[in-house]
Amino acid sequence: MEAVFRSATVSEMDVQELLEEKGNQVITVQPGDTVPDAVQTLASNDIGAVVVTDDQGTMTGILSERDISRGVKKHGAGLMGKQVQDLMSNKVVTCTPHCSIVDVLALMNENNIRHLPVMDAQKVMGVISIRDATTVWLNALEEENETLRRMLANID
């Protein structure tokens, strides 16, 4: 992902800007889907987590590669007979589109998570990964650094 953000400083960047740059497609599975089907969804979309929704589209959980790894440890080969609801995380940490990237990175770090659904009221607006957040953070820092270098070069 090559992101170019228009914010004046890194601390002013927010999740809405990130979603506008990367897109806000939300890949979902349902609680009754099989684990192999969910793994296929992750692999075919090249993502590390899927939002779990009920028939009305309401988020009921999240299933990540980490949840699946824990499932392998707990269930062994029996994992292939399990459903998403057997492995998903029910307590989902979320953010809003107005959260800053700095706050999102802190939230991910504090909760030891790598994927964060973005919620506006009860609607999932997108999912951001730690890679998304760190990429835009680093790009913005580089842009700020370049601006400072230009400013210092103009000082007599």
**Residue of higher predicted confidence among 41 and 7:** 41
Question: What are the structure tokens assigned to 138, written together?
Answer: 């680093």
Give per-residue pLDDT as tens, 109-146: 999 999 999 999 889 999 999 999 888 878 878 888 88
Tell me the pLDDT band of 8, cut-offs 50, 70 and 90.
very low
Q: Which domains does the chain have, with CATH numbers?
A: 10-153 (3.10.580.10)
The alpha-helical segments, DSSP class H, found in 46-100 are 65-75, 84-87
Rounded CA separation 50/38 (Å): 8
